[in-house]
Amino acid sequence: MDMSLWWDSFLAILTPEVLMFNAAGVLIGIVIGALPGLSATMAIAILTPITFWFDPSCGFAMLIGVWNSAIFAGGITAILINTPGTPASIASTFDGYQMYRQGRGGLALGINVIYSAIGGIISTLFLIFLAFPIASFTVSFGPTEYFMLALFGLMMMISVSENNVVKGMAVGFAGLTLSTVGIDPILAVKRYTMDSTSLAAGISFLPVMIGMFGLGEVLNQMYEYKQSTAGSALEMLKKASAKLGRILPTWKEFKQFFRPTVLAGAESTIIGAIPAAGADIASIICWGQAKKLSKNPDEYGKGSAEGFAVSCTSNNGVLGGALTTMLTLGIPGDAVTAILIGSLMMYGMQPGPKMFTEDTGFVMQIMQLMILSNIAIVVFGLLSAKMSAKILNARPQTVWVGVTALCVVGSYALNNSFSDVLLMAAAGVVGFIFKRGGFAPGPFILGLLLGGMLESNLRRALVMSQGSLDIFFERPVTLVLMILIALTLCFPLIKKAVLKRRKAA
Amino acid sequence: MWDKFKGDPLMGFIFVIFGLIFLVPGIGYGLSSPGGLPGPGAGFFPTITSALTVFFGLWIIYDGLKKGSVDYFGQDPEQRSNFKIIAVVCAAFIAFLLIWVYINFFLGIAMLSLFYNFIFKRTWKFNLIFTVVLTGMLYVVFERLLYIQFAL
Amino acid sequence: MKLNFFKACKAAAVGLSLAACVGAVTNAEAAPNFPRKQIQIVVPYAPGGASDVVARIYGKELEGVLGKPVIIVNRTGASGAIGLESVKNARPDGYTMSYMPVESTMLKALGIAEVSSDDFDFVCRIMTIPAAITVSADAPWNTLDEFLTYAKENPGKVLVGNSGSGSIWHVAAASLAKAAGVEFTHVPFDGAAPAIAGLLGKNITAVAVSPAEVKANVDAGQFKVLAVIGDAHSSVVPDVKTTRELGYDVTAMGWGGFAVPKGTPEEVVQILSDASAKVAQSENLKSLLKERGFEYAPLTGTEMDAFAKDQLDQYSQLIPELLGKK
């Protein structure tokens, strides 16, 4: 790594224009990321043509700013209204919203800012120092490894089942079944489509998530609202959030979070580097893993600040990983990196191994822009945290109307599709009923999200091996993942056995 | 006697029906690929998942009957009266969807906002300001900035 | 008396010619005043992808030519069927257009949806995208013949990745297999990028996707392109021969154009076609296509109508045959 080149490209970034573009990108990203249904991809697709009028450094400063901050901002709505602003923030709803209900919303917002930035920075460090080894490892991932990854993610269904595992499993398998609606990924046959083209496109995951988590929660609040106790509940919430001084975690908490979040950052970078595995599965896997390894696993899902910090780190940590694969191999890991590759090509650069030798300066600038964006997130994020906290004081009825409108618009905006709005509304009603009956929505969402990945990779692997299951045992990485899954399943049993022995001794 | 079936057993039953609706066509899609192609068929995965859904649905019915179910809607009369509000809210939502399809989206959203705020007993002043701000913001951000067309 | 009659005739003549002039002017004004408001182009694929980027530049140029705003709307799903169907069912007044991929001639035959290129009137074609048979750089075959000989001796062992079952790349590879009398095992992925990743990770033997998508890896020395399936050399890998030149009668390639729903008034279609012809000449469009590695291959609306009909017939026959031997 040429230090003088590093320094030169860094100075080129510190110009007011680049900083301004970066700041603009971060601010735009905060708005877009917070609105459910609007994705970073959409924002970047629209901004990209505009960036061509400017210098590559300025253009990329803006795009990278948007990317990082949109993922961070998805956590804001996860905290405030239980609806992830982007799929990457699903795991953030597990603990974030509970923290808000417990009057610790300010802390949640602060943790979101800091740990998202930490996640982004950790993954950029991996990018800077370990780009090539990571990329060559993850690119060897074949269908069997993807299958194991999806299976791993699905195991979290059990962790997320809240109190009743039987109900969680029923709901989870229902989600998995729904994920098969549409066109078969291997044979291109229509399944359960009943001659409707909308159904042929499948059950779109995002509207269901927005409906279940957002609208469902609104309906539930409407039901539980008691005029008589409303006054005092509001007073309590106001008092708790007035103690907003505590947006930042205490030093003790910081030390406690250190190990799980650094681990999550590393894991999510690697998962992000796997082509087509994104922030949603990364944050779920990291959260589940952190829960298993934590000293306070029972708090996870009930407002654990540690769990929430892990989810924030892991969804931003994916970005460095995705960039790793994009820059070293020229392969897009997701829609955003695909657009960024297109941008680079318009500037006359070719992402791939050649870029590291021919355009080293710009590669370094991209890495520095990542770090810069995350610092900007801390600055703007903390400022906006104070503002978002004001929303905590709003009356529930205001929130209900606003969220309903947002859910409608968000689910439509995704694909300009009215049927998505209907889907969202239906999911909202189902989510309400689930909530009343103690059925956790998490496994359902997981099943719907990961079902496709699970099924298509299983069948793809079998196509490649001509139907033989041996392929699952011939590949070392698959075997390692299989053992990890088995361990995760047996962990609680092992723990019990060890504890029993300790008691007996 | 029918009371025993309220709540969990009913939900479990719904899961069983849901599973069956997918299971039957699923088997029809074929468990192995046509023409001797390698790998399982289109029906393989949905058959397994829907069968397991039926299985767990039955388990829920059993648990619900044996151990008693979760109290879905509670006994609090104040909360139960909220049912009426929810029903009205849903009806208004359907009306909004119809206005959107046949007339105009922004008109629909404005009416939705006015109506909801009315039901929730907000002051007229708040209602009007909120509706105008909401509709205005949605218009500016979505239709002007993001070019998302709401016209169907 | 005679004078009066004369005057009357003159008056009548003047009156008649005035009437004729007015009539002519009003007729001219009765010609369609198109476009009077913004035009919407529906792209059946995700933002940022190949189709989307081309459509956006086309839209920008069209805006310049027609003087009215042109916006792009993405509607993805079902291999393009969702977007295409929404335009097919839209009002045929020329204000809703669709980006037309080659898949529009294949969806019906694939059984995915009832929409086909017959439901549209084309206004132009912009580009073609050939398929490139690509293998790892260190693979033991250096020509298409060597590769096919190996495939013949090892039926089913050669794993050819594509961007999805029924995609144009799948059909291209299957057509080649049929023409050469060999048996590939087609491995469908969710898009071209995972397929390329699969080849990079040595999980499959070859991919059949566009040359533009593998350009980065070819330049980096990781891949080599054995042949191109299309009607001309690819500008991305100009030295690689087409399958026709190598003796195999296969042409299955991707293309992109624009169309309006059938039933749109003739004059409106003509206005759009003429405007598209101008857009096709624009430097911005040409340089974008060059940057991205797509073949600049413009056709007028009527030419494209004929070409699409041809493709539709071809795939309606070919796909049911291939489906049996997928």
Q: Do A345 and C110 touch (CB under 8 A)?
A: no
Q: Is residue B151 part of a domain?
A: no
| Contacts with C259 (C-beta within 8 Å, 6 or more apart), sequence order | C87, C97, C98, C100, C117, C120, C121, C122, C123, C304
C152 and C123 assigned to the same domain: no
Residue C9 pLDDT exceeds 60: no
b/e burial code for range C106-124 (CB count within 10 A of at least 16 → b): bbbbbebbebbbebbbbbb
C147 and C94 assigned to the same domain: no
Token pair of C308, please? 């699409």
B37 and B89 assigned to the same domain: no
User: Which helix (H) or strand (E) element contains residue C129?
Assistant: strand C120-129
Residue tagged 């469902």 (tokens): A216
Out of A169, A401, A422, closest to residue B113 by CB = A401
B96 and B138 assigned to the same domain: yes
Q: Do C324 and B35 touch (CB under 8 A)?
A: yes
Token pair of C275, please? 């405007």
The shortest C-alpha distance from A177 to chain B (Å) reads: 5
3-state helix, strand, coil in chain A (%, to 5): 80, 0, 20
In order, the DSSP letters of C59-73 are HHHHHHHHSS-EEEE
Amino acid present at B125:
K
The shortest C-alpha distance from A20 to chain B (Å) reads: 20
Q: Which residues of B touch A401 (CB under 8 A)?
A: 112-113, 116-117, 120, 130, 134
What burial class does residue A176 get, using C-beta atoms within 10 Å of its C-beta: 0-12 exposed, 13-18 middle, 19+ buried? buried
Chain B 25-44, CB below 8 Å of chain C: which residues? 35, 37-38
**For the segment C299-314, what is each residue's pLDDT rounded down to a tens digit?**
998 999 999 999 999 8
ipTM above 0.85, yes or no: yes
pLDDT at A61: 92
Say how many domains are in chain B: 2
In order, the DSSP letters of A225-257 are --HHHHHHHHHHHHHHHHTTTTTSPPHHHHHHH
**For the segment A394-424, what is each residue's pLDDT rounded down to a tens digit?**
777 888 888 888 889 888 887 888 989 999 9
Please count the residues of chain A: 505
Q: Which residues of C touch A141 (CB under 8 A)?
A: 197, 201
The shortest C-alpha distance from C161 to chain B (Å) reads: 15
Token pair of B138, please? 């949605």
**For the segment A165-212, what is each residue's pLDDT rounded down to a tens digit?**
888 889 999 999 999 998 888 887 888 888 788 888 888 888 898 888
Out of A170, A191, A400, closest to residue B42 by CB = A191
> What CATH code is carried by the domain that includes residue C189?
3.40.190.10
Q: Which residues of A touch B93 (CB under 8 A)?
A: 404, 425
Q: Is residue B24 part of a domain?
A: yes
Domain carrying residue C107: 39-129+254-324
pLDDT at A118: 92
B86 and B57 assigned to the same domain: no
B122 and B89 assigned to the same domain: yes
pLDDT at C74: 87
Domain carrying residue B96: 77-145
Chain C 148-187, CB below 8 Å of chain A: which residues? 156, 159, 164-166, 185-187
Chains that touch C (3 or more CB pairs under 8 A): A, B
**For the segment C159-218, what is each residue's pLDDT rounded down to a tens digit?**
999 988 888 899 899 889 888 889 888 898 888 888 888 898 888 999 998 888 888 888
Amino acid present at C24:
A
Count Cβ–Cβ pairs < 8 Å, chain A vs chain B. 156
Q: Is residue C9 part of a domain?
A: no
Residue B36 pLDDT exceeds 70: no
Final residue in a domain of this structure, among C195, C229, C263: C229
Q: Do A200 and C202 touch (CB under 8 A)?
A: no
Half-sphere exposure at residue C112, Cβ-oriented, CA atoms within 13 angstroms: 32
Using a CB–CB cutoff of 8 Å, tell me whether C74 touches chain A. yes
In order, the DSSP letters of A203-229 are --HHHHHIIIIIIHHHHHHHHH--HHH
Alpha helices in chain C (DSSP H): 2-30, 50-66, 81-88, 107-110, 144-153, 168-180, 192-200, 211-219, 266-280, 283-292, 301-324
| Contacts with A41 (C-beta within 8 Å, 6 or more apart), sequence order | A334, A335, A336, A339, C46, C47, C48
Q: Is residue B84 part of a domain?
A: yes
Q: Which residues of A touch B90 (CB under 8 A)?
A: 429
Using a CB–CB cutoff of 8 Å, tell me whether B144 touches chain C. no
Alpha helices in chain B (DSSP H): 8-28, 44-67, 77-102, 105-119, 124-138
Give Cα C245 to chain centroid, integer Å: 24
In order, the DSSP letters of C130-143 are -EEEEEETTSS--S
Q: Do A224 and B78 touch (CB under 8 A)?
A: no
| Contacts with C177 (C-beta within 8 Å, 6 or more apart), sequence order | C151, C183, C184
- Residue B116 and residue B111: Cα distance in Å, rounded? 8
The shortest C-alpha distance from C323 to chain B (Å) reads: 10
Half-sphere exposure at residue C80, Cβ-oriented, CA atoms within 13 angstroms: 26
Out of C185, C190, C216, closest to residue A185 by CB = C190
> What CATH code is carried by the domain that includes residue C110?
3.40.190.150
B63 and B83 assigned to the same domain: no
B101 and B121 assigned to the same domain: yes
Chain A 101-130, CB below 8 Å of chain C: which residues? none
Residue A324 pLDDT exceeds 60: yes
In order, the DSSP letters of C156-214 are TT-EEEESSTTSHHHHHHHHHHHHHT---EEEE-SSHHHHHHHHHTTSSSEEEE-HHHH
Residue tagged 């929430």 (tokens): A308
pLDDT at A277: 76
B86 and B34 assigned to the same domain: no
- Residue A246 and residue A108: Cα distance in Å, rounded? 10
Please count the residues of chain C: 326
Q: Is residue B152 part of a domain?
A: no
Say how many domains are in chain C: 2
B132 and B84 assigned to the same domain: yes
C97 and C183 assigned to the same domain: no
Out of C40, C324, C325, closest to residue B149 by CB = C40
Q: Is residue C246 part of a domain?
A: no
